[in-house]
Amino acid sequence: MLPDLLRQMGFETAPPARHRPRLGVSACLLGHPVRYDGGHRHEPLLHRELGPLVRFVEVCPEVAIGLPVPRPPIQVVALGGEHRVRGVARPDDDYTEALSAQARHLDEPLDGFLFKARSPSCGWGTTPVHGPDGGVRGLGDGAFAATLAARFPALPLCNESDLQDPSFLTAFAVRLFCHHQWRHSPHPENALDTLRRRSEGLDEPLLSGTRRFIEHLAAPAR
Ligand code: SF4
């Protein structure tokens, strides 16, 4: 069980909500009807597995920039060596800067972010990237997700589709708690030593993955 494992690592798993790790979440995954088609993509696993452990910080970047619900669909297009987010029916409507600005100016402290896969705003490595002719050329990031990742290189990030794998879910939760401990410590180097000790009892491959994450946290702390 995930809470047992976190407790074995020395983390408190049932503090008041304000003291829990703060997980940014694409708002549609929490059941909010904010998608372009007026619907949501509620992911029950979020509330079931992570809800008792973390505090959700819901964000819908498309609604935050003033787009209505419902709204015409948008997509990522590769143009001139960069990715732009544009209207499907109205390609002159370009939302790239506005969506990126939402990530640049987000002032909520976070310990991770859970994105809606394949979204032109929120997708993380899963978003279809179209050519000017409309065909799909590959996969990339949504504009909000790309900017958030560049701004916070140590932040644990994933798509909701990743969490269907129980071992990934466990590894992601461990990273959230490690990031939270590190973010709140007045002495980040001491916190990293504590996290290294706490990870010693983990089994592989969780041990190696957690160690790599702790060293990733150490890089910006130097
Ligand atoms: S912008 Fe993100 S949060 Fe808003 S509906 Fe699209 S995927 Fe969901």
For the chain, give every domain's residue range.
2-217
If 0-12 CB within 10 Å is exposed, 13-18 middle and 19+ buried, where does residue 40 land? middle
Kindly list the strands in the beta sheet with 127-130, ordered across the sheet, starting from the edge strand earlier in the chain.
Answer: 82-87, 74-79, 127-130, 136-140
Q: What is the DSSP letter of 118?
A: T
| Residue pLDDT, tens place only, 137-165 | 999 999 999 999 999 999 999 999 999 99
Which pLDDT band holds residue 17 (cuts at 50, 70, 90)? confident
Ligand 1 atom 4: the closest Cα is on which residue? 60
Whether the predicted model's global pTM rises above the 0.85 cut = yes
26 lines ligand 1 (CB under 6 A): yes
Q: With a 6 A CB cut-off, is 160 part of the ligand 1 pocket?
A: no
Q: What is the pLDDT of residue 188?
A: 84
Find out whether the beta carbon of 116 lies less than 6 Å from any atom of ligand 1.
yes
Does 196 score more than 90 pLDDT? Answer: yes
Round to whole Å and give the CA distance between 4 and 202.
12
pLDDT grade for 222, boundaries at 50, 70 and 90: very low
Average pLDDT over residues 15-23: 93
pLDDT at 218 over 90: no
Residue 29 CB-half CA count within 13 A: 29
Residue 221 reports pLDDT greater than 80 = no
- Decide: 183 and 195 in contact? Cβ < 8 Å: no
In ligand 1, which atom is closest to the CA atom of 58? 3
Residue 220 pLDDT class (50, 70, 90 cuts)? low
Burial class (CB in 10 A: 0-12, 13-18, 19+), 216: middle
| Substitution candidate for ligand 1 out of 113, 122, 144, 158 with most atoms within 8 A of CB | 122
The residue type at 169? L
* Phi, psi for 41 (deg, rounded to 5): -130, 55
The rounded distance, in Å, linking the Cα atoms of 140 and 200 is 35
At 132 the pLDDT is 83
Query: Among 23, 25, 28, which residue has the most ligand 1 atoms within 8 Å of its CB, making it the best to mutate?
Result: 28
pLDDT one-digit tens code per residue, 21-74: 999 999 999 999 999 999 999 999 999 999 999 999 999 999 999 999 999 999
Q: How far is CA 209 from CA 5, 7, 25, 160, 185, in A?
A: 15, 18, 23, 19, 22
118: left (phi over 0), alpha (psi -120 to 50) or beta: left
The reply to whether ligand 1 has any atom less than 6 angstroms from the CB of 95 is no
Rg, Å, the chain Cα set: 18
φ and ψ of 77, to 5 deg:
-125, 135
Q: Is the CB of 27 under 6 A from ligand 1?
A: yes
Work out which ligand 1 atom sits closest to the CA atom of 119.
Answer: 7
Identify which of 23, 60, 127, 161 to mutate to test ligand 1's pocket (most ligand atoms within 8 A of the CB). Answer: 60
